[in-house]
Every structure is written in structure tokens, then in C-alpha cells.
Copies of this chain bind each other. A is one copy, B any other.
Amino acid sequence: MTTPDILQALRRRRPLVHCVSNQVSANDCANLLLALGASPIMARAPEEAEAITAASAATVLNTGTPEAETFRLCRLWGQAAAALGQPVVLDPVGVGASPWRLEAVEGLLAAFTPALLRVNLGEARALLHLESGERGVDGPGGTWEERAAVLRRLARERDCAVLLSGPEDLVTGRGGGGPVRRIAGGSPRMAQVTGTGCMLSALCGAVLAVEADCGAAAWAASVLWKACARRAEAESRGPGSFRAALMDAAAALTAEDCAAAEVCAL
């Protein structure tokens, strides 16, 4: 599907997207899904994993601000989705921040295989046990070659699609065998707002609800998010007004916005 078709499908079908979210970005993720036309449900309790997964079209697991319980819950929700063949997006927020976090995320990846890993470069490097240089959850960039190699290797090792986000996003499909696609554009303000990675992961879940090909869905989510950023930058004066403008943009996004963003997607 083209990105305008995906947008239209979201607005028409209003897919239910379930998110295990974190203390920082739960509100933004729910608001982004609503603004796009999807229907969010933010649940956690294992007691309702089966019922809510059955009603949902996609599951987004975000392990930010984790406690031990977070990983136990994500494992259960991930397995519930896997049992139904439902696509799972895993966002291992700041996985390089501690050995404990890395081990816990690896435990998740051993328990189920996500359709898509949405990571930044620091998180990808941590998952590959490379020296990360990561500081917090908002790490620096890297060369295109390094990023592409990291992306491919992670997709191969984890047998899933990967969306590596940053000033320029990179995408590869399941297993990393095909071409690496690049999505530039967007806005430097994206890095000044917390949770824009989490929001992109939620957006990936929404797109996977209407587009079955993981790599194509990741690419479309990236394009849509860059389109939101571009629109929002024009309507804002700094990170606070930009954050609100991202939601305005998501609700107002047109086929023309999508086309303009695709031009930056090489």
C-alpha cells in the first residue's frame, strides 16, 4: 500500500492497537494513535492479555522506565500476540543503559519474535553487544555505512524487520536480506521532545494493523512520522509547541504531505 492508502485505511478501519507503554510517553502514544485515526488501548495486566490481544490488530511493547514486572508483563503480552499470529512491535527503550536491561530485553527476544524492532543506533548497538557510547535514550548518530551494517545484522540475528530511527531513518525487512531503505527529512526538533521514538513505535503498530508486510509497514510508518514532523515544525516555535503540533499534523496529514515526505525517502 502507498502511504496515503495506509492513512486512509487507518481512518476508515480505526484498528485497535494495544500498547504496553511507559511512565513517560503513554499519553503521547495514545494521543498519536487517536490523531492518526487508530484506536489505542493501553493495558498491562496479565489477566486481560488474552481478551485484549484477541480484540486488537497489533501489539506494541515498550520497555521504557522498566521494573522487573515490566519485562514479565511484556513477555506475557508478546506470547499472547505470537499465539494469535498478531504482529508485535518491540521498542527496547534505552536497552544499553544497564546490563540488567539488556539481559531482560534479550529474555523477551528469546520468548517471542517481534515482527519489527524499532530502535535508535545506541539501542541497536547494545543489542549487538557492540561498544555503544550510548548516553540515556537519546544517543548520537553515526555514519550511513555503520548504521546500515548494524541494521542488517540486527535484522538477521533477530529474524525480524528493523526500523533504525534517527535524523535519517533506515529500514530493512524481515531477516535483513533485501535492500536498506533510507528516509530523510523530518525535523531536528524531533530530538528535542521525549518519546518521539516511542510514538514512532506506536505508529508502526498502527500501520502493521493494516499492512502485513513488516518492512513495507516500517517504511510507511517512518515516512508518515517524517511527514508529521515536517508539518509540525512549520507550525511551532520550540519543542513544547512542536509536541502539540505533531498531533495536529497527524490528524491533518494529507496525501500531499505523504508525497512530499516520500521524496526524502530514497
Contacts and interface: CB of A to CB of B under 8 A. Distances in A.
Interface in A158-180: none
A94 B44 CA distance: 13
Contacts of A34: 138, 191-194, 239
A26 B27 CA distance: 9
B192 A251 contact: yes
Q: How many chain copies does the complex carry?
A: 3
Interface string A26-61: 111011001100011111110110011001000000
Interface in A138-186: 138
A195 B42 CA distance: 12
Interface string A192-219: 1111000000000000000000000000
Contacts of A238: 35, 245, 247-252
Interface in A217-266: 235-241, 243-252
10 contacts: A24-B27, A41-B136, A43-B94, A45-B66, A48-B97, A51-B98, A51-B100, A238-B248, A241-B244, A241-B245
Q: Which 6 A-B pairs have the closest CB atoms?
A: A238-B248, A240-B247, A48-B98, A240-B244, A51-B98, A30-B194
